[in-house]
Structure 1
Amino acid sequence: MERRALDNLSIKGKKIIGRPVLFNAESENLGGFVEIIAPNAFSEHLASSELDVKALYEHDRKLLLGRTTSGTLIITGDNQGLLVEIDPPDTQTARDLLVSIERGDISGMSFGFITEVDEWDYSRDPALRTVIKAKLLEVTVTSDPAYKQTDVQVAQRSLSQHQTNHNLNHKFHLELMELI
């Protein structure tokens, strides 16, 4: 699973609203390449009857804030990206999180995904990866919306794998296992 993070979060009543994914926005350098998420990259997966995206706090599966299957996580898309609305549980963790968001201590969103189809442009430096089709696995509220070192390591492995496949003239399909 790959993770990316953005700084875009607010509170509406007792719901957490955020934009974890921006379309056509170039990422920071992820270790030899930058990345863009195509506007329809998650469309097929989000329309799937098997959709089960989780909203987490700090990528911790034990700190579940909402879930699409229970209706406590609603994901919508527009021309800018994906927008989420999380109806967190009445737990101490969620109450503390709401206070931290209201204070401005926590303002970031992140997302975890598995790439199914991507394209690479090596004519620029750093190379550009465009995620064409992917499965969204999680959205996360985070205090640190910068790219994590583990994300860069996963991304670097995907770049190496693609270059290997590209050199062998194979069609590139990348799936990453969850690292947690």
Structure 2
Amino acid sequence: MSFRTLATLFLLLAACSQPALPLDPVYDSDELSSLSATFNSIAISPASVALPGSGSATYSGFFGGNLGAGGSVLGNLGLSADFGGSSVAGGLSNINVLGVAGVEDQTLSGDVAFTGWITGTTISALGSGNLTIVDGISQTGTASVTVFGQFRDYLGFYDAVSGTIELDASSIGLTGVSLEFYAQ
């Protein structure tokens, strides 16, 4: 079953009951689908309501998406927002490439950091880092990311953020991978 199919099934279930967000620091494909459905059911924060003019917030969550060959990529995401400076900084870690059956095929060591800005209730960021395949062969490659997101209201105002990540690490076989992220 694909990531999109699982997310759709969980979205239908979420219409009946809102699933609790797990505090597990490492997400598997079932949790990813459940959280995807949860965040897709949350209304996007109205652009007419201004973010705070000062202060900061830290968000923790996950990212994931499908690969063209039937596998998927899953990992953790951290993001800090500086509302006074209209800036964001964060990173991707604990990156795993999963096979068709959802079995971990490759663990990638390394982190990908990003920095960017806040405009209204949206974020835009760019980043890079080195990733190394640690299972079987040891191959290192540079990864670049483009991050676009939207602050969301979950339990309060702007207490969650979600969006998309474009990942390119062609030297280790991940070229033009589109991912989604969710954090609170």
Fold shared, TM-score > 0.5 on shorter chain: no
Relative to the length of structure 2, the TM-score reads: 0.30
**Larger fraction in helix:** 1
Relative to the length of structure 1, the TM-score reads: 0.30
**Larger fraction in strand:** 2
1 or 2 for the larger relative contact order (CA 8 Å, sep ≥6)? 1
